[in-house]
A and B are shown apart, each in its own frame.
Chain A
């Protein structure tokens, strides 16, 4: 779901980079990102990367990759998940050259921030009714909300002032269904996988949360 460089105008990605940097700074303060926390968050980022590598088999023989953000947010809390996935996205952009460097802030906001906080908020809201359903819905909405953010950012490029030309050419009527519908299907499969993984892993991390 990463956006590459070249699709977005500076008017879009510069404010997003600033917002992402501010959120990272606040998140670091929030989790006490001092020396001893650094290896912990780095190890969580590697764990998040592993979850992102898992290929989910889809009906029809195709596959999609797990996002893993909801699972990490539910296991370790939204701020740690946000920081861990920020590190994953930064390593991917700066070292592996996957995903744009200029649009890193947009990718961080969409995947790490919106993904983590949507999952955590939905789970907190629904867990008193039915925990399994809460995990499932939290994961689906986490995946879909990230994709909706990306779709919105891509779709508004056509609404930019006249002087900004040559960026992503399709408007919201194309980008929203093109991204949200496939991610709804992926989200449902990821939801089922997250329920299974969360139930299995949560008792084993309860002591370190």
Chain B
């Protein structure tokens, strides 16, 4: 229930910020969110990199191409930072598995756990492959890529069967 309320609050603030065209109001919203959020220092640190990537690049390009429009740049950057900050806050504080319908939550849960597992496997696979190469070459790379594709394909088909059996044996599939 609390997660659902938090997500609803996020949606209201995030969508609402799209209709605000006054930089002062956006700044007040940003300050209010800063005060409300507990782990603001960590979130600020995490929001800074995507902000640099998107906000600063667009601002600099806009400055070069269209000249400096202070009001627009202020509005754009404040809204972007507010939404990045809110997005990071909601991703770190709301348990989405609790607020989604059962099927969607199950699919998300399974996908998340498999993605984490595959990500680690992927990194280990390429570390192992690279440690065996005397030199980098496109031919070796494509050969390794085929092996990787086959390994993860097999793993996916096998995992889905295993998970289905596991879920069935625990009564999850008895709708």
Contacts and interface: CB of A to CB of B under 8 A. Distances in A.
Interface of A: 4-7, 9-10, 14, 33, 35-36, 38-47, 49-51, 53-54, 57, 87-88, 90-91, 93-97, 100-102, 163-170, 174, 193, 196-197, 200-201, 204-205, 208
A84 B61 CA distance: 35
Contacts of A7: 54, 80
A100 B152 CA distance: 28
Q: Main secondary structure on chain B at its contact with chain A?
A: helix
Contacts, number: 174
Given A97-B91, A166-B79, A196-B142, A39 B115 contact: no
B138 interface: yes
B163 interface: yes
Contacts of A200: 146, 149-150
Contacts of A163: 21
Q: Main secondary structure on chain A at its contact with chain B?
A: helix
Contact of B79 (A6, A14, A193): A6
A201 B150 contact: yes
Contact of A54 (B111, B138, B145): B145
A169 B111 contact: no
Given A40-B160, A166-B72, 13 more contacts: A6-B80, A7-B54, A35-B175, A38-B110, A39-B110, A46-B114, A57-B138, A95-B96, A101-B87, A193-B142, A201-B153, A204-B150, A205-B157
A88 B122 contact: no
Interface residues of B, number: 67
A7 B87 CA distance: 14
Contacts of A50: 118-119, 122, 148, 152
A42 B87 contact: no
A190 to B, nearest CB: 12
A57 to B, nearest CB: 7
B159 to A, nearest CB: 5
Contacts of A97: 46, 87-88, 91-92
A5 B89 CA distance: 13
Interface string B82-93: 111011101110
A193 B175 CA distance: 42
A137 B164 CA distance: 36
